[in-house]
Amino acid sequence: MNNSGLMTIDMFNKLTGHETLHPQICMIDLSKTNLSENIRIMCDFYGLLYYNSPKQSKASEKEWLRLVYPGEVVEIPSKQHRHADYYSGVLFHPDLLCDTSLENRIETYPKRCRFRGALTEHEQQIITDNLLEIGEELHHAIDRYSASIIASHIELLLNYCVRFCSQ
Protein backbone atom coordinates (compact mmCIF):
# COMPACT_ATOMS: atom_id res chain seq x y z
CA MET A 1 0.00 0.00 0.00
CA ASN A 2 1.10 3.57 -0.57
CA ASN A 3 0.94 6.32 2.06
CA SER A 4 -2.64 7.27 1.17
CA GLY A 5 -3.80 3.68 1.62
CA LEU A 6 -4.97 3.50 -1.98
CA MET A 7 -3.99 0.83 -4.47
CA THR A 8 -2.54 2.24 -7.68
CA ILE A 9 -2.48 0.57 -11.10
CA ASP A 10 1.25 -0.13 -10.81
CA MET A 11 0.87 -1.58 -7.31
CA PHE A 12 -2.00 -3.75 -8.50
CA ASN A 13 0.13 -5.03 -11.38
CA LYS A 14 3.03 -5.86 -9.07
CA LEU A 15 0.73 -7.61 -6.60
CA THR A 16 -0.92 -9.75 -9.28
CA GLY A 17 2.16 -10.36 -11.42
CA HIS A 18 1.04 -8.28 -14.42
CA GLU A 19 3.40 -6.14 -16.47
CA THR A 20 2.70 -2.38 -16.42
CA LEU A 21 2.34 -1.42 -20.09
CA HIS A 22 0.81 2.00 -19.33
CA PRO A 23 0.88 3.83 -15.97
CA GLN A 24 -2.82 4.74 -16.11
CA ILE A 25 -4.48 1.56 -17.34
CA CYS A 26 -4.13 -2.19 -17.12
CA MET A 27 -5.86 -5.29 -18.31
CA ILE A 28 -6.39 -7.98 -15.74
CA ASP A 29 -6.72 -11.71 -16.05
CA LEU A 30 -6.83 -13.17 -12.58
CA SER A 31 -7.31 -16.71 -13.86
CA LYS A 32 -3.51 -16.80 -14.28
CA THR A 33 -2.71 -15.21 -10.91
CA ASN A 34 -1.66 -17.34 -7.95
CA LEU A 35 -2.55 -15.13 -4.99
CA SER A 36 -2.07 -17.04 -1.75
CA GLU A 37 -4.56 -14.95 0.23
CA ASN A 38 -7.66 -12.83 -0.37
CA ILE A 39 -6.93 -9.13 -0.81
CA ARG A 40 -9.16 -6.15 0.00
CA ILE A 41 -8.02 -2.92 -1.61
CA MET A 42 -9.29 0.62 -1.85
CA CYS A 43 -8.70 1.77 -5.41
CA ASP A 44 -7.56 5.08 -6.84
CA PHE A 45 -8.89 3.95 -10.23
CA TYR A 46 -12.01 2.97 -12.13
CA GLY A 47 -12.53 -0.58 -13.21
CA LEU A 48 -14.79 -2.98 -14.96
CA LEU A 49 -14.59 -6.52 -13.57
CA TYR A 50 -16.10 -9.54 -15.30
CA TYR A 51 -16.13 -13.19 -14.42
CA ASN A 52 -17.67 -16.26 -15.93
CA SER A 53 -17.88 -19.66 -14.29
CA PRO A 54 -19.68 -22.49 -16.07
CA LYS A 55 -19.21 -24.65 -12.92
CA GLN A 56 -21.71 -22.69 -10.80
CA SER A 57 -25.11 -24.30 -10.35
CA LYS A 58 -27.35 -21.20 -10.42
CA ALA A 59 -27.48 -18.89 -13.44
CA SER A 60 -27.10 -15.89 -11.11
CA GLU A 61 -23.74 -17.22 -9.89
CA LYS A 62 -22.30 -18.02 -13.34
CA GLU A 63 -21.51 -14.50 -14.50
CA TRP A 64 -20.84 -11.21 -12.82
CA LEU A 65 -20.20 -7.75 -14.16
CA ARG A 66 -19.28 -4.81 -11.93
CA LEU A 67 -18.25 -1.20 -12.41
CA VAL A 68 -15.79 0.07 -9.79
CA TYR A 69 -15.25 3.74 -8.92
CA PRO A 70 -12.22 5.35 -7.23
CA GLY A 71 -12.45 5.04 -3.46
CA GLU A 72 -14.37 1.77 -3.54
CA VAL A 73 -13.04 -1.32 -1.85
CA VAL A 74 -12.52 -4.30 -4.12
CA GLU A 75 -11.91 -7.84 -2.99
CA ILE A 76 -9.57 -10.00 -5.03
CA PRO A 77 -10.00 -13.66 -4.16
CA SER A 78 -7.04 -15.96 -3.72
CA LYS A 79 -6.71 -18.86 -6.13
CA GLN A 80 -8.35 -21.28 -3.70
CA HIS A 81 -11.34 -18.92 -3.13
CA ARG A 82 -11.83 -18.00 -6.77
CA HIS A 83 -14.97 -19.66 -8.12
CA ALA A 84 -14.64 -18.36 -11.67
CA ASP A 85 -12.76 -19.76 -14.62
CA TYR A 86 -12.55 -16.41 -16.37
CA TYR A 87 -11.91 -13.39 -14.14
CA SER A 88 -10.87 -10.36 -16.16
CA GLY A 89 -11.39 -6.69 -16.75
CA VAL A 90 -9.82 -3.31 -17.19
CA LEU A 91 -8.61 -0.84 -14.57
CA PHE A 92 -8.00 2.80 -15.47
CA HIS A 93 -6.96 5.92 -13.61
CA PRO A 94 -9.17 9.06 -13.85
CA ASP A 95 -6.26 10.98 -15.40
CA LEU A 96 -6.46 8.72 -18.46
CA LEU A 97 -9.80 10.36 -19.26
CA CYS A 98 -8.51 13.95 -19.32
CA ASP A 99 -9.58 15.79 -22.48
CA THR A 100 -11.72 12.88 -23.70
CA SER A 101 -15.49 12.68 -24.10
CA LEU A 102 -15.58 10.06 -21.33
CA GLU A 103 -14.12 12.55 -18.83
CA ASN A 104 -17.42 14.45 -18.81
CA ARG A 105 -19.61 11.35 -19.01
CA ILE A 106 -18.00 8.95 -16.54
CA GLU A 107 -20.11 10.17 -13.63
CA THR A 108 -23.31 9.41 -15.58
CA TYR A 109 -22.66 5.68 -15.39
CA PRO A 110 -24.38 3.90 -12.50
CA LYS A 111 -22.15 3.49 -9.49
CA ARG A 112 -23.80 0.21 -8.64
CA CYS A 113 -24.23 -1.39 -12.03
CA ARG A 114 -23.99 -5.06 -11.28
CA PHE A 115 -25.15 -7.79 -13.58
CA ARG A 116 -25.85 -11.22 -12.27
CA GLY A 117 -27.36 -13.65 -14.69
CA ALA A 118 -26.75 -15.44 -17.89
CA LEU A 119 -25.18 -13.34 -20.61
CA THR A 120 -25.79 -14.66 -24.09
CA GLU A 121 -22.81 -15.91 -26.08
CA HIS A 122 -23.10 -12.76 -28.19
CA GLU A 123 -22.99 -10.51 -25.09
CA GLN A 124 -19.99 -12.43 -23.73
CA GLN A 125 -18.27 -11.99 -27.09
CA ILE A 126 -18.95 -8.23 -27.05
CA ILE A 127 -17.27 -7.90 -23.65
CA THR A 128 -14.34 -10.10 -24.67
CA ASP A 129 -13.86 -8.31 -28.00
CA ASN A 130 -13.86 -4.87 -26.36
CA LEU A 131 -11.36 -5.99 -23.72
CA LEU A 132 -9.15 -7.39 -26.50
CA GLU A 133 -9.29 -4.06 -28.40
CA ILE A 134 -8.17 -2.20 -25.28
CA GLY A 135 -5.39 -4.73 -24.72
CA GLU A 136 -4.19 -4.39 -28.30
CA GLU A 137 -3.98 -0.61 -27.96
CA LEU A 138 -1.91 -1.05 -24.79
CA HIS A 139 0.65 -2.97 -26.82
CA HIS A 140 0.94 -0.08 -29.26
CA ALA A 141 3.58 2.55 -28.49
CA ILE A 142 2.12 5.31 -26.30
CA ASP A 143 1.51 8.43 -28.38
CA ARG A 144 -0.73 11.51 -28.26
CA TYR A 145 -3.69 9.45 -29.53
CA SER A 146 -3.41 6.57 -27.06
CA ALA A 147 -5.56 7.99 -24.26
CA SER A 148 -8.31 9.08 -26.63
CA ILE A 149 -8.45 5.72 -28.40
CA ILE A 150 -8.40 3.77 -25.14
CA ALA A 151 -11.05 6.03 -23.58
CA SER A 152 -13.28 5.49 -26.64
CA HIS A 153 -12.99 1.72 -26.27
CA ILE A 154 -13.71 1.95 -22.54
CA GLU A 155 -16.73 4.17 -23.19
CA LEU A 156 -18.11 1.66 -25.71
CA LEU A 157 -17.56 -1.18 -23.26
CA LEU A 158 -19.26 0.77 -20.46
CA ASN A 159 -22.24 1.53 -22.70
CA TYR A 160 -22.66 -2.16 -23.49
CA CYS A 161 -22.34 -3.06 -19.83
CA VAL A 162 -25.02 -0.57 -18.83
CA ARG A 163 -27.24 -2.11 -21.50
CA PHE A 164 -26.62 -5.59 -20.09
CA CYS A 165 -27.21 -4.41 -16.50
CA SER A 166 -30.54 -2.83 -17.37
CA GLN A 167 -31.99 -5.94 -19.06
Q: Render each residue's pLDDT in the chain as its tens digit; 167 residues.
A: 333 467 888 888 888 888 888 889 999 887 767 777 887 888 889 988 877 665 544 544 455 677 888 888 877 777 665 555 567 889 999 999 999 989 989 888 876 666 656 778 898 889 889 999 999 999 888 888 888 999 999 999 999 888 887 76
pTM as predicted: 0.81
Res 113: pLDDT: 61
Which of 148, 125, 146, 127 has its CA nearest to residue 137?
A: 146
- Strands 6-7 and 39-43, sheet pairing: parallel
Q: DSSP 3-state assignment of 151?
A: helix
**Cβ neighbours of residue 141 under 8 Å, at least 6 residues apart?**
none
